Amino acid sequence: MKISILIIPLGIATLVLADGDSTTSVFEVPLVRNPTYRGDFQAQMQKMRNRYGSPETIAAAKKGVGLVPVTSPAFDTEYYGPVKIGTPGQTFNMNFDTGSADIWLASSTCSTTTCKSHRRFNSSSSTTFRLDPAKRRFRIEYGDGSYANGPIGTDMVNVGGIQIRQTIGLATNESADFEVSKMDGMFGLAFSSYESVPGVKTFMTNAIAKKAVALPVVSAYLPSLRRSGGKGGHYLFGAIDSTKFHGNLTYVPVTVKGYWQVTVQDVLVSGQSLNSSYQGIVDTGTTLVILDDKTTAAVHSKIKGAYFDKQEQGWVVPCSLSKAQTGSVGFRLAGRVFEVPMADIAWEPVGKGKGKLGGEICYSGVQSIDSPVWILGDVFIKNNYCVFDQSAIPSVGIAPLQ
Ligand SMILES: *[C@@H]1O[C@H](CO)[C@@H](O)[C@H](O)[C@H]1NC(C)=O
Ligand SMILES: *[C@@H]1O[C@H](CO)[C@@H](O)[C@H](O)[C@H]1NC(C)=O
Ligand SMILES: *[C@@H]1O[C@H](CO)[C@@H](O)[C@H](O)[C@H]1NC(C)=O
Ligand SMILES: *[C@@H]1O[C@H](CO)[C@@H](O)[C@H](O)[C@H]1NC(C)=O
């Protein structure tokens, strides 16, 4: 089975800025550097957030909290949940992506096979839709080469009850990659500076400015199918659900605003340090964990039976690892180690292994690609609750799932 395309079904967006007829491709633009945060940052954040975390406060909050249930297909390749767009609301399954900033979905005027394989937005049947007066267009390309483009407009966007007027992209041209995807469109949760149309602000930036969210946060609870037994998880806009994780959140300050970029201080395999540190992005839109070549090889050198499979163009591990009761791949962030159990390193089965070990082999949940940053994708997030916090000092609050 050829599955290299699945490494990053969506994942990080490459900025493509349309500038008249010429197109400039920009990757990794260092934007606003964080001010140095004080040593008591953790304590300050805990104090501020603990007030909001209890299930009671979430239930009591009538305003400013939006809950979106999400599900994932086999192997947790992507997580999607319903969003209503327009008046009356048309419902779409959106993939919430912290690795890109645009919201887009197929337009009903697009009748290609790819567009027709999903629900399409009909702007003519929404009384609140406004086409962009400047006739600007969005163009987006993702890390795996998939793309979408088309006109933009604004309409009412309702996320679990939080409703604001928001810019959306109406895709009239989508790459065929999206045909296999279960989602109808993408819902960007990165920072506004990564919007493909300069000047456009993200849903969260607008919702915060309009005080439509109780807290400037989006919390991702994305348990694996294995863990949730098919019940799925949720995104919580404007709140934190402390019943979903153990202990306190550790707030990891964002180093570069754009993606949710943080400093990964070390990688550990079953507690053994690899002395490897790098910038990484916490990305709900990428399925796997992506590291550099050297670190990926070092991780697999500590896993019995793992090897690089040329045919599959990736690292593979024995599928029997999925039954492992012990061992983990850990990532140290803001001084604390967050783990992915070994059992989750055995990802999708790809066939029979080579050599003495034989047996079924699985694609590894940790792979390497040529990327300027590491990517902590769903393999990481499905084991660790993540709060994408857009406070004055932005940070990702992380704690192991319950
Ligand atoms: C879109 O909505 C308009 C107005 O309700 C309708 O006439 C048109 O047929 C719809 N288009 C599609 C492709 O469903
Ligand atoms: C669709 O977009 C791609 C990528 O930008 C472009 O190469 C292609 O020409 C476009 N197709 C049409 C029909 O506009
Ligand atoms: C969580 O943080 C609070 C406030 O800083 C502290 O009192 C408490 O001991 C912490 N709990 C755990 C389990 O770390
Ligand atoms: C990591 O660094 C420590 C201290 O310098 C050293 O003892 C250890 O061997 C190193 N481990 C690796 C895997 O490089």
Of 121, 122, 123, the residue with max ligand 1 atoms within 8 A of its CB, to mutate for a pocket test, comes to 122
**Per-residue model confidence (pLDDT) at position 33:** 33
> What does the pLDDT look like over 233-268, one tens digit per residue?
999 999 999 899 999 999 999 999 999 999 999 999
Can you tell me whether residue 187 is helix, strand or coil?
Answer: strand
Q: Whose CA is nearest to atom 2 of ligand 2?
A: 173
Closest CA to 88 of 167, 187, 155, 172: 155
Ligand 3 pocket, residue 48 CB under 6 Å: no
Q: State what percent of residues in the chain have pLDDT above 70.
A: 83
Residue 6 DSSP one-character state: G
Q: Whose CA is nearest to atom 1 of ligand 2?
A: 173
Ligand nearest to C-alpha 266? 4
DSSP for 188-248, please give it.
E-S-GGG-SSTT---HHHHHHHTT-SSSSEEEEE---HHHHTT--EEEEES---GGGBSSP
Q: Whose CA is nearest to atom 10 of ligand 4?
A: 275
**Ligand 4 atom index nearest CA of 274:** 13
**Per-residue model confidence (pLDDT) at position 231:** 87
Mean pLDDT of the chain: 86
Catalytic residues: 97, 283
pLDDT at position 115 over 80:
yes
**Per-residue model confidence (pLDDT) at position 14:** 44
> What does the pLDDT look like over 182-235, one tens digit per residue?
899 999 999 999 999 999 999 999 999 999 999 999 999 999 988 888 889 999
The band of 95, judged by pLDDT with boundaries at 50, 70 and 90, is very high
Q: Whose CA is nearest to atom 14 of ligand 2?
A: 173
Residues with Cβ < 8 Å from 28, sequence gap 6 or more? 258, 372, 373
Copy the structure tokens of residue 163: 């409703």
Copy the structure tokens of residue 168: 């959306």
| Maximum pairwise Cα distance, the chain | 65
Domains (range + CATH), the chain: 4-32+65-228 (2.40.70.10), 243-400 (2.40.70.10)
The band of 7, judged by pLDDT with boundaries at 50, 70 and 90, is very low
Ligand nearest to C-alpha 126? 1
126 Cα: distance to centroid of ligand 1 (angstroms): 10
Can you tell me whether residue 288 is helix, strand or coil?
Answer: coil
